[in-house]
């Protein structure tokens, strides 16, 4: 999940810069290109409408405005950044797999740049759907045309675009891995503009169930785009880019979820009582924004083991999470999952302490695995519960 900051150059366009060529008087730029002072994303349009400059630039090694491409990736291609990326989706091989590894064939993706094939090939050791972009970029190749040249593309996207491979939109824990990764990627790119496209890289024919879709608004003003929307087209000029408290604050701030201060302090000041609220975070009945509003205004958050506890990310700093299930008693795989998440987020974690105060109904019934302690009902000692709280 962690992304490396060191970027290695995979595809670059070698231009002789003005300082490199300083002593060589035979190279003088044919035009004062710096006077163009254009944002990168405007260059394709500018060159398209100014054929004379485009022609001059193409022939001039000192011109940087060619619409050349670049591709830089971190180790194992966990995070990549590209400019003027070319994608040919005219004959997509869509199937049932979300992350088909041979979705793009040779020639269907690339850029106008000098490719360091060795550097590219050496980054493939972590090739897998959610850990690397190697499968998608292994066919990246050198093009002999400029991707931004409109003859070669059906669609030219000039808005900065993030490609994401999503984990599971129906599970809060898994989906928030996506959002945290997006947030870290924005730190790597040092840009938090919401005027960006977010494209779901998905090679299947299926749609995507997303129970937490409101969260996207913290990152983009635009609708999330499924890759299949571009099927049958050739696309160019995409800029592809690939911490828990900061993440929490960022999302809450951008979604406008207010924090009204610690309640227990006021309660303790007046009468020694708690304000207790039982809430059912059922996605169809309670919108996600309302859910995190309640979470963000809870001091003690008590809930069953499960992805819903990912809500702890949005608790206030002084809060405590009480997990009503002790996975380690029963040797479940994700035994310290929410304890770890609480530590990363910086909120206090607690769970049952005495095994003889918690009573499983039976040995549990997993739909396929047989007996399983996660699949049964539990009752517990109320006095012990009150003591812990
Ligand atoms: C990444 O950073 C560059 C340079 O600041 C910026 O132009 C681009 O819009 C950013 N991309 C995204 C997707 O935010
Ligand atoms: C738990 O209790 C509920 C309500 O009594 C029941 O419907 C459910 O089947 C029980 N679950 C298991 C796994 O025993």
| Residue minimizing CA distance to atom 1 of ligand 1 | 189
CA–CA separation, 151 vs 342, rounded Å? Answer: 53
- DSSP letters, 20-89, are TTTT-TT---SS-GGGG---GGGHHHHHHH-HHHHHHHHH-TT---S---EEEE-GGGSSEEEEEEEEE-
Token output for 249: 């604050």
In degrees rounded to 5, what are phi and psi of residue 370? 85, -140
| Residue minimizing CA distance to atom 12 of ligand 1 | 160
| Residue minimizing CA distance to atom 5 of ligand 2 | 377
First to last CA, the chain: 34
Would you say 318 and 259 are in contact if contact means Cβ atoms under 8 Å apart? no
CA–CA separation, 131 vs 99, rounded Å? Answer: 11
Q: Atom of ligand 1 at shortest distance to CA of 241?
A: 13
Each residue's pLDDT expressed in tens, for the chain with a length of 389 residues: 333 334 445 566 543 333 333 334 456 667 776 677 666 556 666 776 777 887 887 777 677 666 678 888 888 999 999 888 888 988 888 899 999 999 999 989 998 888 888 888 899 888 888 889 999 999 999 888 877 766 778 888 888 899 999 988 999 999 999 999 999 999 888 889 999 999 999 999 888 889 999 999 999 999 999 998 888 777 764 333 327 777 888 888 888 888 776 655 555 455 566 777 778 888 788 999 999 999 999 998 988 888 899 999 999 989 999 988 766 666 556 667 888 889 888 899 998 888 888 887 777 788 887 787 777 888 878 778 878 87
pTM of the model: 0.71
In degrees rounded to 5, what are phi and psi of residue 311? -55, -25
Name the residue of 324, 369, 376, 377 to mutate for ligand 2: max ligand atoms within 8 A of Cβ.
377
């Amino acid at each position: 999940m962690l992304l490396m900051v060191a970027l290695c150059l995979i595809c670059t366009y070698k231009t002789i810069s003005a300082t490199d060529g300083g002593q060589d008087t035979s190279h003088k730029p044919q035009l004062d290109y710096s006077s163009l002072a254009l944002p990168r994303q405007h260059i394709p349009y500018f060159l398209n409408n100014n054929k004379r400059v485009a022609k001059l630039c193409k022939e001039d090694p000192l011109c940087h405005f060619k619409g050349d491409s670049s591709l830089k990736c971190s180790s194992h291609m966990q995070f990549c950044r590209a400019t003027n990326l070319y994608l040919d989706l005219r004959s997509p091989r869509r199937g049932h797999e979300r992350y088909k590894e041979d979705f793009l064939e040779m020639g269907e993706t690339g850029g106008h740049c000098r490719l360091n094939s060795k550097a590219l090939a050496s980054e493939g050791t972590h090739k897998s759907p959610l850990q690397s972009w190697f499968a998608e970029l292994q066919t990246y190749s050198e093009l002999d045309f400029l991707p931004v040249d409109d003859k070669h593309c059906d669609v030219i996207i000039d808005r900065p675009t993030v490609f994401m491979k999503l984990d599971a939109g129906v599970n809060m824990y898994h989906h928030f891995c996506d959002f945290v990764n997006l947030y870290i990627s924005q730190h790597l790119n040092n840009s938090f503009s919401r005027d960006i496209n977010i494209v779901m890289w998905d090679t299947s024919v299926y749609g995507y169930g997303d129970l937490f879709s409101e969260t996207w608004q913290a990152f983009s003003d635009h609708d999330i785009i499924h890759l299949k929307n571009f099927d049958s087209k050739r696309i160019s000029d995409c800029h592809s880019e690939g911490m828990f408290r900061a993440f929490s604050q960022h999302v809450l701030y951008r979604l406008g979820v207010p924090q009204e201060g610690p309640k227990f302090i006021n309660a303790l000041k007046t009468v020694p009582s708690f304000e207790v609220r039982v809430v059912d975070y059922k996605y169809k009945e309670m919108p996600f924004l309302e859910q995190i509003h309640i979470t963000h205004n809870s001091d003690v958050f008590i809930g069953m083991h499960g992805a819903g506890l990912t809500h702890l990310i949005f608790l206030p700093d002084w809060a405590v999470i009480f997990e009503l299930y002790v996975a380690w008693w029963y040797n479940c795989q994700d035994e310290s999952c929410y304890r770890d998440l609480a530590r990363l987020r910086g909120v206090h974690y607690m769970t049952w302490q005495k095994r003889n105060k918690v009573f499983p109904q039976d040995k549990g019934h997993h739909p396929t695995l047989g007996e399983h302690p996660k699949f049964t009902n539990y009752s517990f000692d109320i006095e012990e519960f009150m003591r812990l709280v």
